[in-house]
Amino acid sequence: MELKRVVVTGLGAITPLGNDVASTWENALNGVSGAGPITHFDASLFKTQFACEVKDFKPELYVAEGDRKELRDFKKNDLYTQYALAAAKQAIEDANLLDEKVDRDEVGVIFSSGIGGIHTFEQEVAYYATHEEQGPKYSPFLIPAMIADIAAGRISIKYGFRGPNYGVVSACASSTNGMIDAFNQIRLGKAVAIVTGGAEAAICPVGVGGFNAMHALSTRNDSPETASRPFSASRDGFVMGEGGVCLIFEELEHALARGAKIYAEVIGGGTSADAYHITATHPEGLGARLVMKRAVEDAGISVDDVDYINVHGTSTPVGDLSESQAIVDLFGKHAYELNISSTKSMTGHMLGATGAMEAMFCVKAVQDDVVPPTINHEDDDRDEKIDYDLNFTFGKAQKRTVDVALSNTFGFGGHNATIIVKKYKG
Protein backbone atom coordinates (compact mmCIF):
# COMPACT_ATOMS: atom_id res chain seq x y z
CA MET A 1 0.00 0.00 0.00
CA GLU A 2 1.41 3.37 -0.98
CA LEU A 3 1.29 5.83 1.90
CA LYS A 4 -0.30 9.20 1.21
CA ARG A 5 1.60 12.44 1.76
CA VAL A 6 0.47 14.78 4.52
CA VAL A 7 0.79 18.56 4.62
CA VAL A 8 -0.08 21.37 7.03
CA THR A 9 -2.73 23.71 5.62
CA GLY A 10 -3.88 25.70 8.64
CA LEU A 11 -2.56 27.07 11.96
CA GLY A 12 -4.17 28.58 15.05
CA ALA A 13 -2.72 29.66 18.39
CA ILE A 14 -3.72 31.01 21.81
CA THR A 15 -0.43 31.24 23.74
CA PRO A 16 1.47 33.17 26.40
CA LEU A 17 3.13 35.09 23.53
CA GLY A 18 -0.03 36.08 21.67
CA ASN A 19 -3.60 35.19 20.79
CA ASP A 20 -2.88 34.33 17.18
CA VAL A 21 -0.11 32.74 15.12
CA ALA A 22 1.40 35.96 13.81
CA SER A 23 1.93 37.62 17.20
CA THR A 24 3.11 34.38 18.82
CA TRP A 25 5.69 33.84 16.10
CA GLU A 26 6.85 37.45 16.06
CA ASN A 27 7.35 37.50 19.82
CA ALA A 28 9.18 34.17 19.72
CA LEU A 29 11.59 35.47 17.08
CA ASN A 30 12.15 38.60 19.17
CA GLY A 31 12.95 36.58 22.29
CA VAL A 32 10.00 37.83 24.33
CA SER A 33 9.25 36.05 27.59
CA GLY A 34 5.62 35.22 28.33
CA ALA A 35 6.24 34.91 32.06
CA GLY A 36 4.88 37.16 34.78
CA PRO A 37 3.12 37.09 38.17
CA ILE A 38 0.14 34.74 38.33
CA THR A 39 -3.17 36.57 37.91
CA HIS A 40 -5.55 33.58 37.70
CA PHE A 41 -5.53 33.21 41.50
CA ASP A 42 -3.78 34.56 44.60
CA ALA A 43 -0.44 32.74 44.56
CA SER A 44 1.18 34.74 47.37
CA LEU A 45 1.50 31.71 49.65
CA PHE A 46 2.86 29.37 46.94
CA LYS A 47 6.52 28.58 46.42
CA THR A 48 6.06 29.59 42.77
CA GLN A 49 4.13 32.80 42.18
CA PHE A 50 4.55 33.25 38.43
CA ALA A 51 3.71 31.48 35.18
CA CYS A 52 3.34 32.02 31.44
CA GLU A 53 -0.35 32.89 31.26
CA VAL A 54 -2.48 33.64 28.21
CA LYS A 55 -3.24 37.38 28.23
CA ASP A 56 -6.44 39.22 27.25
CA PHE A 57 -8.30 36.12 26.08
CA LYS A 58 -11.72 37.20 24.80
CA PRO A 59 -14.25 34.35 24.36
CA GLU A 60 -16.63 36.64 22.46
CA LEU A 61 -14.22 36.64 19.53
CA TYR A 62 -14.85 32.93 18.97
CA VAL A 63 -18.64 32.89 18.78
CA ALA A 64 -21.10 34.53 16.43
CA GLU A 65 -21.22 38.27 17.06
CA GLY A 66 -23.98 39.20 19.48
CA ASP A 67 -25.05 35.57 20.08
CA ARG A 68 -25.44 35.52 23.86
CA LYS A 69 -26.54 31.90 24.04
CA GLU A 70 -23.51 30.71 22.09
CA LEU A 71 -21.25 32.81 24.32
CA ARG A 72 -22.84 31.32 27.46
CA ASP A 73 -22.38 27.83 26.07
CA PHE A 74 -18.77 28.60 25.16
CA LYS A 75 -18.03 29.76 28.71
CA LYS A 76 -19.53 26.59 30.21
CA ASN A 77 -16.49 24.77 28.86
CA ASP A 78 -13.42 24.43 31.00
CA LEU A 79 -10.74 26.99 30.14
CA TYR A 80 -8.62 24.39 28.38
CA THR A 81 -11.49 23.60 26.00
CA GLN A 82 -12.09 27.31 25.40
CA TYR A 83 -8.46 27.64 24.32
CA ALA A 84 -8.85 24.58 22.09
CA LEU A 85 -12.00 25.89 20.42
CA ALA A 86 -10.42 29.29 19.83
CA ALA A 87 -7.23 27.87 18.30
CA ALA A 88 -9.26 25.43 16.19
CA LYS A 89 -11.46 28.22 14.85
CA GLN A 90 -8.39 30.13 13.72
CA ALA A 91 -6.82 27.09 12.06
CA ILE A 92 -10.03 25.90 10.37
CA GLU A 93 -10.61 29.36 8.91
CA ASP A 94 -6.95 29.63 7.92
CA ALA A 95 -7.22 26.33 6.01
CA ASN A 96 -10.66 27.15 4.60
CA LEU A 97 -11.65 23.71 5.83
CA LEU A 98 -15.35 24.53 5.75
CA ASP A 99 -15.12 24.77 1.97
CA GLU A 100 -18.07 22.97 0.36
CA LYS A 101 -15.53 20.83 -1.51
CA VAL A 102 -14.54 19.21 1.81
CA ASP A 103 -16.55 16.13 2.84
CA ARG A 104 -17.00 16.48 6.61
CA ASP A 105 -17.42 12.72 6.94
CA GLU A 106 -13.75 12.50 5.99
CA VAL A 107 -12.44 15.15 8.40
CA GLY A 108 -11.40 14.07 11.90
CA VAL A 109 -10.43 15.77 15.13
CA ILE A 110 -7.58 14.43 17.27
CA PHE A 111 -7.05 17.07 19.92
CA SER A 112 -5.12 16.31 23.10
CA SER A 113 -4.55 17.44 26.66
CA GLY A 114 -2.31 16.09 29.39
CA ILE A 115 -4.58 17.05 32.29
CA GLY A 116 -7.90 18.25 30.90
CA GLY A 117 -10.41 20.29 32.90
CA ILE A 118 -8.54 20.79 36.15
CA HIS A 119 -10.11 24.25 36.67
CA THR A 120 -13.59 22.74 36.61
CA PHE A 121 -12.62 19.86 38.89
CA GLU A 122 -11.01 22.21 41.40
CA GLN A 123 -13.96 24.60 41.46
CA GLU A 124 -16.54 21.85 41.88
CA VAL A 125 -14.63 20.14 44.71
CA ALA A 126 -14.16 23.50 46.45
CA TYR A 127 -17.88 24.25 46.16
CA TYR A 128 -18.83 20.88 47.63
CA ALA A 129 -16.35 21.33 50.49
CA THR A 130 -18.02 24.57 51.53
CA HIS A 131 -21.57 23.18 51.14
CA GLU A 132 -20.99 19.68 52.48
CA GLU A 133 -23.98 19.82 54.80
CA GLN A 134 -26.26 19.99 51.75
CA GLY A 135 -25.04 16.65 50.52
CA PRO A 136 -23.50 15.96 47.09
CA LYS A 137 -24.35 18.90 44.85
CA TYR A 138 -22.31 18.89 41.67
CA SER A 139 -22.92 20.52 38.32
CA PRO A 140 -24.16 18.25 35.54
CA PHE A 141 -21.37 19.82 33.48
CA LEU A 142 -18.62 18.59 35.84
CA ILE A 143 -17.76 15.37 34.04
CA PRO A 144 -18.21 16.61 30.45
CA ALA A 145 -16.10 19.68 31.22
CA MET A 146 -13.22 17.97 33.00
CA ILE A 147 -12.51 14.94 30.80
CA ALA A 148 -9.38 15.26 28.69
CA ASP A 149 -11.02 14.21 25.41
CA ILE A 150 -13.83 16.74 25.46
CA ALA A 151 -11.98 19.41 23.47
CA ALA A 152 -11.82 17.01 20.53
CA GLY A 153 -15.50 16.24 20.94
CA ARG A 154 -16.51 19.89 21.18
CA ILE A 155 -14.59 20.81 18.00
CA SER A 156 -16.15 17.88 16.14
CA ILE A 157 -19.66 18.82 17.26
CA LYS A 158 -19.24 22.52 16.44
CA TYR A 159 -18.10 21.90 12.86
CA GLY A 160 -19.78 18.59 12.04
CA PHE A 161 -16.52 16.73 11.43
CA ARG A 162 -17.41 13.03 11.54
CA GLY A 163 -14.03 11.41 10.92
CA PRO A 164 -11.74 9.90 13.60
CA ASN A 165 -12.36 11.73 16.85
CA TYR A 166 -10.48 11.41 20.14
CA GLY A 167 -7.83 12.89 22.40
CA VAL A 168 -4.50 11.40 23.41
CA VAL A 169 -3.18 11.53 26.99
CA SER A 170 0.55 11.00 27.50
CA ALA A 171 1.34 13.90 29.84
CA CYS A 172 3.54 16.49 28.14
CA ALA A 173 3.86 14.32 25.02
CA SER A 174 0.08 14.28 24.51
CA SER A 175 -0.33 16.61 21.55
CA THR A 176 2.71 15.20 19.75
CA ASN A 177 1.32 11.70 20.11
CA GLY A 178 -2.00 13.05 18.83
CA MET A 179 -0.35 14.68 15.82
CA ILE A 180 1.47 11.44 15.01
CA ASP A 181 -1.89 9.63 15.13
CA ALA A 182 -3.38 12.28 12.83
CA PHE A 183 -0.45 11.89 10.44
CA ASN A 184 -0.90 8.12 10.35
CA GLN A 185 -4.69 8.27 9.94
CA ILE A 186 -4.28 10.43 6.84
CA ARG A 187 -1.37 8.62 5.24
CA LEU A 188 -3.24 5.33 5.69
CA GLY A 189 -6.27 6.81 3.92
CA LYS A 190 -8.60 6.88 6.94
CA ALA A 191 -9.29 10.62 6.62
CA VAL A 192 -8.57 13.45 4.20
CA ALA A 193 -7.89 15.99 6.95
CA ILE A 194 -7.50 16.07 10.72
CA VAL A 195 -7.88 19.02 13.07
CA THR A 196 -5.09 18.29 15.54
CA GLY A 197 -3.18 19.94 18.36
CA GLY A 198 -3.43 20.39 22.08
CA ALA A 199 -4.69 22.60 24.87
CA GLU A 200 -3.93 23.00 28.56
CA ALA A 201 -5.01 25.34 31.36
CA ALA A 202 -3.50 24.16 34.64
CA ILE A 203 -2.41 27.48 36.16
CA CYS A 204 -4.61 27.10 39.21
CA PRO A 205 -3.97 26.25 42.89
CA VAL A 206 -4.07 22.49 42.34
CA GLY A 207 -1.85 22.64 39.26
CA VAL A 208 0.79 24.95 40.69
CA GLY A 209 0.61 23.43 44.17
CA GLY A 210 0.95 19.91 42.82
CA PHE A 211 3.99 20.68 40.70
CA ASN A 212 5.50 22.69 43.59
CA ALA A 213 5.12 19.70 45.88
CA MET A 214 7.28 17.60 43.58
CA HIS A 215 9.87 20.40 43.20
CA ALA A 216 9.30 20.60 39.44
CA LEU A 217 8.73 24.36 39.07
CA SER A 218 11.21 27.19 39.14
CA THR A 219 10.92 29.37 42.24
CA ARG A 220 12.70 32.41 40.77
CA ASN A 221 9.91 34.73 41.95
CA ASP A 222 12.13 37.81 41.84
CA SER A 223 12.67 37.47 38.07
CA PRO A 224 9.89 35.54 36.30
CA GLU A 225 10.97 36.61 32.81
CA THR A 226 14.37 34.94 33.23
CA ALA A 227 13.24 31.89 35.19
CA SER A 228 13.01 29.49 32.25
CA ARG A 229 16.68 29.14 31.32
CA PRO A 230 17.26 25.86 29.50
CA PHE A 231 20.84 24.54 29.34
CA SER A 232 22.08 27.04 31.95
CA ALA A 233 23.80 25.90 35.15
CA SER A 234 21.37 27.85 37.35
CA ARG A 235 18.21 26.28 35.89
CA ASP A 236 15.93 25.25 38.73
CA GLY A 237 12.76 23.85 37.15
CA PHE A 238 10.19 24.62 34.51
CA VAL A 239 7.81 27.57 34.24
CA MET A 240 4.21 26.56 33.73
CA GLY A 241 2.49 27.76 30.56
CA GLU A 242 -1.00 27.40 29.13
CA GLY A 243 -2.91 27.81 25.90
CA GLY A 244 -4.12 25.99 22.82
CA VAL A 245 -2.50 25.38 19.44
CA CYS A 246 -4.11 23.80 16.38
CA LEU A 247 -2.70 22.50 13.11
CA ILE A 248 -4.69 21.24 10.14
CA PHE A 249 -3.10 18.10 8.69
CA GLU A 250 -4.37 17.27 5.21
CA GLU A 251 -3.74 14.71 2.50
CA LEU A 252 -1.60 16.38 -0.15
CA GLU A 253 -3.71 15.60 -3.24
CA HIS A 254 -6.86 16.70 -1.42
CA ALA A 255 -5.20 19.99 -0.46
CA LEU A 256 -3.96 20.60 -3.99
CA ALA A 257 -7.34 19.80 -5.51
CA ARG A 258 -9.07 22.49 -3.49
CA GLY A 259 -6.26 25.03 -3.84
CA ALA A 260 -5.29 25.11 -0.18
CA LYS A 261 -2.12 26.92 0.85
CA ILE A 262 0.58 24.60 2.18
CA TYR A 263 2.83 25.58 5.09
CA ALA A 264 4.98 22.45 5.26
CA GLU A 265 4.94 18.69 4.83
CA VAL A 266 4.76 16.22 7.72
CA ILE A 267 7.18 13.38 6.99
CA GLY A 268 7.66 11.25 10.10
CA GLY A 269 6.93 10.50 13.71
CA GLY A 270 8.36 8.30 16.41
CA THR A 271 7.47 7.14 19.91
CA SER A 272 9.39 5.43 22.70
CA ALA A 273 9.45 4.92 26.46
CA ASP A 274 12.23 5.64 28.91
CA ALA A 275 11.06 2.71 31.07
CA TYR A 276 12.97 4.33 33.91
CA HIS A 277 11.09 6.65 36.32
CA ILE A 278 7.63 8.19 36.74
CA THR A 279 8.89 11.78 36.36
CA ALA A 280 12.62 11.85 35.58
CA THR A 281 14.06 11.31 32.12
CA HIS A 282 16.59 8.54 31.63
CA PRO A 283 19.91 10.08 32.72
CA GLU A 284 21.68 8.80 29.61
CA GLY A 285 18.88 9.90 27.29
CA LEU A 286 18.21 6.38 26.01
CA GLY A 287 14.51 6.96 25.32
CA ALA A 288 15.20 10.38 23.79
CA ARG A 289 17.79 8.94 21.42
CA LEU A 290 15.50 6.07 20.45
CA VAL A 291 12.47 8.25 19.71
CA MET A 292 14.46 10.60 17.47
CA LYS A 293 16.02 7.63 15.69
CA ARG A 294 12.59 6.11 15.04
CA ALA A 295 11.19 9.40 13.75
CA VAL A 296 14.11 9.88 11.36
CA GLU A 297 13.72 6.33 10.08
CA ASP A 298 9.98 6.78 9.68
CA ALA A 299 10.62 9.94 7.65
CA GLY A 300 13.00 8.07 5.36
CA ILE A 301 15.78 10.60 5.86
CA SER A 302 19.29 10.67 7.29
CA VAL A 303 20.19 12.37 10.56
CA ASP A 304 22.35 14.65 8.40
CA ASP A 305 19.18 16.01 6.74
CA VAL A 306 17.89 17.62 9.94
CA ASP A 307 18.53 21.38 10.14
CA TYR A 308 16.74 22.31 13.35
CA ILE A 309 15.65 20.56 16.54
CA ASN A 310 13.06 22.17 18.79
CA VAL A 311 14.03 20.36 21.96
CA HIS A 312 11.85 19.48 24.92
CA GLY A 313 14.28 21.61 26.94
CA THR A 314 12.22 22.33 30.05
CA SER A 315 14.97 24.00 32.12
CA THR A 316 15.22 21.11 34.56
CA PRO A 317 18.62 19.88 35.82
CA VAL A 318 18.32 16.29 34.57
CA GLY A 319 16.13 16.70 31.49
CA ASP A 320 18.22 19.29 29.63
CA LEU A 321 21.39 17.32 30.18
CA SER A 322 20.02 13.95 29.04
CA GLU A 323 18.37 15.41 25.92
CA SER A 324 21.51 17.23 24.77
CA GLN A 325 23.49 14.03 25.30
CA ALA A 326 20.96 12.05 23.25
CA ILE A 327 21.33 14.52 20.37
CA VAL A 328 25.12 14.10 20.35
CA ASP A 329 24.82 10.32 20.57
CA LEU A 330 22.41 10.07 17.62
CA PHE A 331 23.52 12.87 15.32
CA GLY A 332 27.26 12.55 15.83
CA LYS A 333 29.28 15.23 13.98
CA HIS A 334 26.11 16.66 12.44
CA ALA A 335 24.89 17.60 15.94
CA TYR A 336 27.33 20.52 15.76
CA GLU A 337 26.06 21.71 12.38
CA LEU A 338 22.33 21.97 13.13
CA ASN A 339 20.48 24.49 15.28
CA ILE A 340 18.86 23.60 18.58
CA SER A 341 16.50 25.78 20.58
CA SER A 342 14.12 25.54 23.50
CA THR A 343 11.17 27.84 22.91
CA LYS A 344 9.94 26.94 26.41
CA SER A 345 12.35 29.63 27.54
CA MET A 346 9.68 32.03 26.20
CA THR A 347 6.34 30.17 26.28
CA GLY A 348 6.94 28.21 29.44
CA HIS A 349 5.95 24.56 29.51
CA MET A 350 2.42 24.28 28.11
CA LEU A 351 2.18 20.64 29.30
CA GLY A 352 -0.14 18.68 26.99
CA ALA A 353 -0.26 21.58 24.51
CA THR A 354 3.50 21.97 24.28
CA GLY A 355 3.99 19.50 21.42
CA ALA A 356 1.54 21.35 19.20
CA MET A 357 3.11 24.69 20.12
CA GLU A 358 6.58 23.48 19.19
CA ALA A 359 5.43 21.69 16.04
CA MET A 360 3.93 25.01 14.94
CA PHE A 361 7.27 26.70 15.60
CA CYS A 362 8.94 24.03 13.45
CA VAL A 363 6.45 24.65 10.64
CA LYS A 364 7.13 28.39 10.80
CA ALA A 365 10.90 27.83 10.93
CA VAL A 366 10.67 25.72 7.76
CA GLN A 367 8.43 28.29 6.09
CA ASP A 368 10.53 31.36 6.98
CA ASP A 369 14.06 29.87 7.18
CA VAL A 370 14.70 31.19 10.66
CA VAL A 371 15.28 29.48 14.03
CA PRO A 372 13.70 30.99 17.17
CA PRO A 373 16.07 31.50 20.10
CA THR A 374 16.69 30.00 23.50
CA ILE A 375 16.61 33.02 25.80
CA ASN A 376 17.93 33.70 29.33
CA HIS A 377 21.37 32.12 28.97
CA GLU A 378 24.50 33.98 30.07
CA ASP A 379 28.04 32.94 29.16
CA ASP A 380 29.07 32.82 32.81
CA ASP A 381 26.18 30.44 33.63
CA ARG A 382 27.53 27.27 32.05
CA ASP A 383 26.92 23.71 33.19
CA GLU A 384 30.19 21.79 32.90
CA LYS A 385 28.24 18.67 31.90
CA ILE A 386 26.63 20.28 28.82
CA ASP A 387 28.46 20.47 25.49
CA TYR A 388 28.35 24.13 24.48
CA ASP A 389 29.88 23.42 21.10
CA LEU A 390 26.27 22.61 20.19
CA ASN A 391 24.42 25.57 18.68
CA PHE A 392 21.64 26.21 21.20
CA THR A 393 20.63 29.42 19.37
CA PHE A 394 21.19 31.40 22.54
CA GLY A 395 19.89 34.93 22.76
CA LYS A 396 18.77 35.76 19.23
CA ALA A 397 16.93 34.09 16.36
CA GLN A 398 19.21 32.87 13.58
CA LYS A 399 18.54 32.98 9.86
CA ARG A 400 19.48 29.79 8.05
CA THR A 401 17.99 27.39 5.54
CA VAL A 402 15.61 25.09 7.40
CA ASP A 403 14.51 22.30 5.09
CA VAL A 404 13.83 19.77 7.87
CA ALA A 405 12.81 20.47 11.48
CA LEU A 406 12.33 17.97 14.30
CA SER A 407 10.35 18.49 17.51
CA ASN A 408 10.80 16.49 20.72
CA THR A 409 8.31 16.14 23.58
CA PHE A 410 8.73 13.98 26.67
CA GLY A 411 6.12 13.30 29.34
CA PHE A 412 5.87 12.08 32.92
CA GLY A 413 5.64 8.31 32.82
CA GLY A 414 8.57 8.13 30.40
CA HIS A 415 6.50 8.89 27.28
CA ASN A 416 8.56 10.22 24.35
CA ALA A 417 7.25 11.50 21.01
CA THR A 418 8.99 13.16 18.06
CA ILE A 419 7.51 14.61 14.89
CA ILE A 420 9.35 15.86 11.78
CA VAL A 421 8.28 18.42 9.18
CA LYS A 422 10.01 19.62 6.04
CA LYS A 423 9.72 22.35 3.46
CA TYR A 424 7.07 21.49 0.88
CA LYS A 425 8.63 21.39 -2.58
CA GLY A 426 5.91 19.74 -4.63
Residues noted as catalytic: 172, 312, 349
* Polymer length of the chain: 426
How far apart, in whole angstroms, are the C-alpha atoms of residue 174 and residue 111? 9
CA 74, chain centre distance (Å): 22
Rounded CA-CA distance 259/95 in Å is 10
Cα distances (Å, whole numbers) of residue 414 to 126, 173, 342, 352: 32, 9, 20, 14
45 burial class (0-12, 13-18, 19+ CB within 10 angstroms)? exposed
Measure the CA–CA gap between 329 and 418, rounded to whole angstroms: 16
Helical residues (DSSP H) of 248-305, grouped into ranges: 252-257, 286-299
- Concatenating the DSSP letter of every residue in 291-322 gives HHHHHHHHHT--GGG--EEE----S-HHHHHH
